[in-house]
C-alpha cells in the first residue's frame, strides 16, 4: 500500500467533502484573482530560434570546447546587502562581472542571445550573489510556478552549483526563477545515478537515489524583480548551511552558472557544458577562487508541536484514535565545517505529501520514492547498488513493518560529511512496536566513500536491521562499490554485496557491473548483474526476487540539424533487458524497446511511435486480476506504442502515451496521460488518467486510475495543494489537502487533511475507511541561516 506518512490514518469531518470544497475554492480563487492580462499572455509568441549553417554551428561548438575553464574571485565586503532583488547597492556595480555565457542548447557553443551579468561577494559569514538577466522582451519572460523546488526547465531561471570540496564530483545547487522561488539540492557522482530505467519514473520521484537530491532543503534567502531591462535575482547563502573542508585559510571551490531563457529554449553556461551533460558535470566546471571561509559551524534546533484528530473504520465500525498533543524535533550540530551530526526524537512526517498512486499489471513491486525530510538530507551519501532495481539501503523500510503496519520512529541520529578526503555516513534509528505481531526495530548503517580523482571513487557499506526484543532476529548487508571515469566519455560502475539472514543458507551474494559511453551524438549503456536466490537486503529494495542473472543494454544516436530552426533533435534508440534463472537458466523476463522515430522540437515538444517486444516466463500460475489466472508457461507479445510531450512551459500542456497490441494470452489497449493548466505563477492544476482494457481468454478486466491535482500559490512560501485519486485496482478513493506557510529550510505551519474511502469510481464513493486532520508547527532556531 502506498506510503503517505507514518500516521496517515484519516479527520474531523468528511475529508471528501472538505476536499471538494477546497477544490471549488481553488478554482474560484484562481479564476477570479487572475488579471485579464494573464489570459492575454497565456500563449506568448515565441521568439524565433536562430538558424545556423551546419558548418558554422560545428565551428562554434569546437571553439567552446577549446575554451579554458574560467575562474572568478569573490568581492570582499563589510556591509551586507538588503536581499530585495533590486541590486541597488554600490557593491553590485564594482569589479568585472561574469558575462561570457555560451549555449548548451539549442545551439551548442553559440554565444548567448541575451546578456547576463553575475557578481559574487562575501562578508566572511554569507555568500552573496547578484545576477542581472537582461531581456529585450521582458513581457515574454516565463516566471514559473511559485513553489519551492519547482521544475526549473519549465521557466526562465538562474542556477549555481558549488563544488565546496573541489573534488569534481559532489556539490550544492541553488537556483531561482522570476517568481522568486527557492530551489536547492545536492549533487553526488556528478548527478549520475546509473540506475534502472523505470517507465513513468521522473527525477523528482527518484528522491536521493538518482545522483541529484532535489529534496534537500537548506536555509538561505533569495529575492527577484522583473523590470524593463529583464529580471534580477539577489541571493544570501550562509556558509553555515554548506559543508566544506576546514583548516584552509583560503579556498577555491568549483562553480558553474546556468541561465535558461525558456521561450527560446536557450540554456546558457558560464563554464561551457557540452549538450550531453548538464549543470551537475562538476569535473568541467569553473573555479570560484579566493574564498575566506569562517570556522563557524551549523548549530540548529528544530522543534515541532503536532495536534491531530484521527478516525478509522474496521468492518464498518468507527474507531476514534484520540491522540494527545505531541512534541519532538531535531538538532543539527556541526562537529566540523565538513561533518554534521543530526539527532531526532519522536520523528514525525505528518506534513509529507501522499504518494501518487499507480497501476500495476506486473507480478513485481512498484518503487515509491522516499519523501520524508529527515531521510532525504544527505541521502546520496548512503546510496549504493542499482537505484530502483537493487537498492542496498532504502530508507522507506524504516517505520514500516514487513506486513505494512506503520511503526512510530522513537528517534535516532545521523553523522555525515567529510573526514579528511573520505565521505562518511553513520545512521542509527529505533522504531516502536506497533502491536504484538510486530517488534520494535533497530536500524544501523555505516557508509564510507573515497574520491580517487575526477569522476572516480571507491566505497563500502554495512546495513543492519535487528529486532529490539530479539538479538537473534537480525539481517545484515555488506557491500563494496566503485565508479571509474575514463575521460569524459566512459564511465563504469561496479558493486558487490552479501547478506546474512537467519534461516537462509543459500547463495546470498550479488554483484553488478555497468559500462556507459556518452558523447554529444551517442549515448550507450551495458550492464550485467547477478542476484543470489537468498540475497535478502531487508532494509533495501529489490524490483524482483533473487535468483537471477540480468542483462541490460541501450543504444542511442542524437541527430541535430542546426539549419532547421524548429527542430531540436532526432533520437533513434534501442534498449534490451532480460533476466534468467541462475540455477536452471529459465528465461524469466525479456523486453525489447525499439524507437527509431522519436523527434524533439525546439520548444521541447516530443513525440514518436515505438514498438515493444515482451517476454514473461511463469513457473507458477500468475493471478493478474481477481478471478483471472494466467497458467505457467512461456509468453511473448508485441505492442505498438505512441508517446508524446507538448511544450511544458505553455499554460496548457500534455504528456502521455498510448499502447495497443498483444498482452500475455490476449490483448491490451489503453494508455495514460496528464493535462496541466497554469495561470501565471499563481495557479496550476492537472488531470491524470491511466486506462487499460485487458482482454484474455482467462477473463477480461479494466485497470483505471484518475487523479486531480490543484495548487494555489499565494507567495513562494504560502500555498494550498490538493490531490484526489481513485484507483480501481484497490477500489480506493483518497484525497489530500495541504496548506503550508513556510519559514526557512522547509519548516513552518502545515495543516493536512486526508480522507480514504471505498469506491466504485471517482464519483461513486462508498463507506469511509480512514480520516485524519493534522496541524503541525515547526520552527528552526540557531545558525543555519
Chain segment 80-135, per-residue pLDDT in tens? 999 999 999 999 998 899 999 999 988 899 999 999 999 999 998 899 999 999 99
CA geometry: angle 399, 405, 411, nearest 5 deg: 25
- Residue 244 has a pLDDT of 87
Cα–Cα distance for residue pair 116/110, rounded to 1 Å:
15
Phi first, then psi: give them for residue 110, nearest 5 degrees.
-75, 140
Contact in structure between 536 and 561 (CB atoms under 8 Å): no
Where residue 247 falls among pLDDT bands split at 50, 70, 90?
low
CA distance 392 to 378: 16
The DSSP symbol for 217 reads -
Q: Which CA distances in Å does 678 have to 19, 143, 158, 373? A: 20, 11, 21, 28
What's the gap between Cα 242 and its chain centre? 20
Spatial contact of 535 and 497, defined as CB atoms under 8 Å apart: yes
- What is residue 15's predicted lDDT score, i.e. its pLDDT? 41
- SS3 helix, strand, coil % of the chain, rounded to 5? 10, 50, 40
List, in sequence order, the alpha helices (H) in 533-647: none
Tens of pLDDT, residue by residue over 125-169, are 899 999 999 999 999 999 999 988 888 988 999 999 999 999 998
Mean pLDDT of 507-529: 95
Note the pLDDT of residue 50.
64
| Whole-number pLDDT of residue 198 | 38
3-class secondary structure, 783: coil
pLDDT at 312: 84
Q: What is the mean pLDDT of residues 498-524?
A: 95
Nearest to 570 by CA among 580, 562, 578: 562
- What lies within 8 Å, CB to CB, of 454 at 6+ separation is 167, 168, 169, 283, 485
Half-sphere exposure of 512 (CA within 13 A, CB side): 27
Q: What is the pLDDT of residue 404?
A: 67
Confidence of residue 348 (pLDDT cuts 50, 70, 90): confident
C-alpha dist (Å) from residue 417 to 44, 677, 781: 46, 41, 22
Helix (H) or strand (E) holding 374: helix 373-376
Side by side, the strands of the sheet bearing 385-386 are 385-386, 390-391, 541-542
Residue 381 pLDDT grade (very low, low, confident, very high; cuts 50, 70, 90)? confident
On the question of pLDDT at 248 being above 70, the answer is no
- Give the pairing type, strands 628-630 and 599-601: unpaired
Q: 338 pLDDT band (50/70/90 cuts)?
A: confident
d(CA 666, CA 697): 6
Residue 314, all three cell numbers: 474496521
What is the average pLDDT value for the chain, to the nearest integer? 86
Q: What's the whole-number mean pLDDT along residues 501-515?
A: 95
Answer yes or no: are the C-beta atoms of 509 and 496 closer than 8 Å.
Answer: yes
Q: What are phi and psi of 359, to 5 degrees?
A: -85, 135
Give CA–CA dist 531/582, Å, rounded. Answer: 8
As a whole number of angstroms, the distance between CA 559 and CA 522 comes to: 9
Residue 62 or residue 361, greater confidence: 361
Q: CB within 8 A of 40, min separation 6: which ones? A: none
Give residue-wise pLDDT tens across range 407-432. Answer: 889 999 999 988 888 999 999 999 99
pLDDT at 614 over 60: yes
Q: Is the peptide bond before 725 cis (omega within 30 degrees of 0)?
A: no
Average pLDDT of span 2-12: 36
Q: For 575-605, give one letter per residue: b (16+ CB within 10 A) or e.
A: bbbbbbebeeeeebbbeebbbeebebbbbbb
Binned at pLDDT 50, 70 and 90, residue 59 comes out as confident
Confidence grade of residue 197 (pLDDT, cut at 50, 70, 90): very low
Residue 226: C-alpha distances to residues 112, 133, 152, 265, 340 (Å): 20, 9, 17, 19, 38
At 237, list the grid cell.
547563502
pLDDT value at position 89?
94
pLDDT in tens, 209-220: 457 888 788 889
Binning pLDDT at 50, 70 and 90, where does residue 65 land? confident
- Terminal alpha carbon distance of the chain: 38
Q: How confident is the model at residue 48 (pLDDT cuts 50, 70, 90)?
A: low
Average pLDDT score over residue span 775-781: 92
Spatial distance between the Cα atoms of 399 and 5, rounded to a whole number of angstroms: 9
Distances (CA, A) of 367 to 538, 571, 743: 15, 27, 31
Pick the closest to residue 275 from 458, 124, 58, 21 (CA basis): 58
Identify the weakest region by mean pLDDT among 46-55, 317-326, 429-438: 46-55
**Please, are residues 495 and 486 in contact by the beta-carbon 8 Å criterion?**
no
State pLDDT tens for residues 661-708.
999 999 999 999 999 999 988 999 999 999 999 999 999 999 999 999
Q: Which distant-in-sequence residues (6+ apart) come within 8 Å of 686 by Cβ?
A: 674, 675, 676, 677, 707, 708, 709
**Per-residue confidence band for 67, with pLDDT thresholds at 50, 70 and 90:** confident
Burial bucket for residue 316 (CB in 10 Å: 0-12, 13-18, 19+): exposed
Does residue 382 sit in helix, strand or coil?
Answer: helix
Which residues fall within 8 angstroms of residue 13, CB to CB, at 6 or more apart? none
Q: Provide the pLDDT confidence category of residue 19 given band limits of 50, 70 and 90.
A: very low
Q: Which residues are CB-neighbours of 30 under 8 A, at least 6 positions away?
A: 679, 682, 683, 685, 712
Q: What single DSSP character describes residue 504?
A: B
**Residue 14 pLDDT greater than 90, yes or no:** no
Whether residue 418 contacts residue 425, with contact meaning beta carbons closer than 8 Å, is answered with no
Rounded mean pLDDT, 15-28:
42
What percentage of the chain reaches a pLDDT higher than 90? 61
233 vs 189, residue with greater confidence: 233
Amino acid at each position: 500500500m502506498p506510503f503517505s506518512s507514518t500516521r496517515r490514518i484519516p479527520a474531523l469531518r468528511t475529508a471528501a467533502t472538505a476536499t471538494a470544497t477546497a477544490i471549488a475554492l481553488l478554482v474560484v480563487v484562481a479564476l477570479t484573482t487572475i488579471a485579464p492580462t494573464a489570459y492575454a499572455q497565456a500563449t506568448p509568441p515565441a521568439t524565433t530560434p536562430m538558424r545556423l549553417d551546419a558548418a558554422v554551428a560545428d565551428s562554434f561548438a569546437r571553439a567552446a570546447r577549446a575554451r579554458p575553464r574560467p575562474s572568478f574571485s569573490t568581492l570582499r565586503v563589510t556591509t551586507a546587502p538588503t536581499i530585495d532583488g533590486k541590486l541597488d547597492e554600490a557593491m553590485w556595480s564594482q569589479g568585472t562581472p561574469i558575462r561570457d555565457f555560451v549555449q548548451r542548447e539549442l545551439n551548442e557553443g553559440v554565444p548567448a542571445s541575451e546578456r547576463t551579468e553575475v557578481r559574487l561577494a562575501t562578508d566572511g559569514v554569507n555568500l552573496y550573489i547578484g545576477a542581472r538577466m537582461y531581456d529585450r522582451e521582458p513581457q515574454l519572460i516565463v516566471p514559473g510556478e511559485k513553489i519551492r523546488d519547482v521544475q526549473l526547465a519549465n521557466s526562465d531561471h538562474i542556477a549555481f552549483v558549488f563544488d565546496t570540496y573541489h573534488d569534481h564530483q559532489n556539490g550544492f545547487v541553488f537556483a531561482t526563477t522570476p517568481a522568486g522561488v527557492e530551489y536547492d539540492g545536492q549533487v553526488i557522482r556528478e548527478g549520475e545515478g546509473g540506475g534502472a530505467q523505470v517507465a513513468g519514473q521522473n527525477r523528482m520521484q527518484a528522491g536521493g537515489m538518482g545522483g541529484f537530491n532535489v529534496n534537500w532543503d537548506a536555509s538561505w534567502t533569495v529575492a527577484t524583480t522583473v523590470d524593463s531591462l529583464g529580471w534580477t535575482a539577489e541571493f544570501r547563502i550562509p556558509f553555515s548551511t554548506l559543508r566544506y573542508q576546514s583548516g584552509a585559510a583560503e579556498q577555491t571551490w568549483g562553480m558553474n552558472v546556468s541561465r535558461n531563457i525558456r521561450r527560446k529554449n536557450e540554456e546558457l553556461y558560464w563554464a561551457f557544458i557540452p549538450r550531453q551533460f548538464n549543470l551537475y558535470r562538476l569535473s568541467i566546471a569553473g573555479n570560484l577562487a579566493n574564498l575566506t571561509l569562517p570556522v563557524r559551524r551549523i548549530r540548529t534546533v528544530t522543534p515541532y508541536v503536532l495536534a491531530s484528530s484521527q478516525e478509522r473504520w474496521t468492518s464498518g465500525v468507527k474507531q476514534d484514535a484520540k491522540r494527545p498533543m505531541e512534541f519532538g524535533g531535531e538538532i543539527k550540530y556541526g562537529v566540523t565545517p565538513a561533518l554534521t551530526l543530526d539527532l531526532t526524537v519522536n520523528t514525525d512526517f505528518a506534513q509529507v505529501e501522499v504518494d501518487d498512486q499507480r497501476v500495476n499489471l506486473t507480478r513485481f513491486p512498484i518503487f515509491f520514492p522516499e519523501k520524508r525530510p529527515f531521510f532525504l538530507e544527505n541521502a546520496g551519501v548512503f546510496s549504493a547498488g542499482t537505484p530502483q532495481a537493487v537498492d542496498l539501503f532504502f530508507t522507506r523500510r524504516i517505520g514500516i513493518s514487513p506486513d505494512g503496519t506503520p511503526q512510530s520512529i522513537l528517534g535516532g541520529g545521523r553523522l555525515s560529511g567529510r573526514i579528511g578526503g573520505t565521505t562518511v555516513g553513520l545512521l542509527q534509528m529505533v522504531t516502536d512496536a506497533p502491536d504484538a505481531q510486530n517488534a520494535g526495530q533497530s536500524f544501523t548503517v555505516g557508509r564510507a566513500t573515497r574520491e580517487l580523482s575526477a569522476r572516480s571513487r571507491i566505497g563500502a557499506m554495512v546495513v543492519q536491521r535487528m529486532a529490539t526484543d530479539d538479538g537473534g532476529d537480525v539481517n545484515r548487508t555488506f557491500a563494496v562499490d566503485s565508479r571509474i571515469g575514463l575521460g569524459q566519455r566512459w564511465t563504469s560502475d561496479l558493486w558487490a554485496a552479501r547478506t546474512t539472514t537467519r534461516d537462509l543458507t543459500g547463495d546470498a551474494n550479488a554483484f553488478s557491473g555497468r559500462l556507459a559511453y556518452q558523447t554529444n551524438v551517442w549515448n550507450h549503456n551495458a550492464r550485467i548483474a547477478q542476484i543470489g536466490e537468498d540475497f535478502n537486503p531487508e532494509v533495501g529494495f529489490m524490483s524482483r526476487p533473487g535468483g537471477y542473472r540480468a542483462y541490460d543494454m541501450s543504444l542511442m544516436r542524437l541527430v541535430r540539424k542546426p539549419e532547421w530552426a524548429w527542430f531540436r533533435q532526432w533520437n533513434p534508440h534501442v534498449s534490451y533487458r532480460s533476466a534468467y534463472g541462475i540455477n536452471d537458466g529459465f528465461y524469466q523476463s525479456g523486453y525489447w524497446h525499439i524507437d527509431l522515430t522519436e523527434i524533439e522540437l525546439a520548444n521541447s515538444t516530443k513525440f514518436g511511435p515505438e514498438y515493444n517486444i515482451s517476454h514473461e516466463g511463469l513457473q507458477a500460475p500468475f493471478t493478474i486480476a481477481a478471478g483471472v489466472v494466467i497458467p505457467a508457461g512461456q509468453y511473448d507479445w508485441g505492442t505498438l506504442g505512441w508517446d508524446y510531450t507538448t511544450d511544458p512551459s505553455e499554460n496548457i500542456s500534455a504528456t502521455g502515451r498510448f499502447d495497443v497490441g498483444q498482452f500475455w494470452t490476449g490483448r491490451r489497449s489503453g494508455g495514460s496521460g496528464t493535462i496541466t493548466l497554469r495561470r501565471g505563477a499563481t495557479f496550476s492544476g492537472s488531470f491524470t488518467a491511466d486506462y487499460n482494457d485487458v482482454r484474455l481468454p482467462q477473463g477480461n478486466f479494466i485497470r483505471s486510475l484518475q487523479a486531480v491535482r490543484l495548487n494555489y500559490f499565494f507567495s513562494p512560501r504560502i500555498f494550498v495543494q490538493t490531490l484526489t485519486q481513485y484507483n480501481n485496482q484497490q477500489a480506493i478513493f483518497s484525497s489530500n489537502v495541504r496548506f503550508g506557510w513556510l519559514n526557512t529550510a522547509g519548516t513552518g505551519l502545515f495543516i493536512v487533511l486526508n480522507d480514504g474511502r471505498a469506491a466504485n469510481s471517482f464519483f461513486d464513493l462508498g463507506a469511509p475507511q480512514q480520516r485524519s486532520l493534522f496541524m503541525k508547527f515547526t520552527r528552526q532556531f540557531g545558525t543555519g541561516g
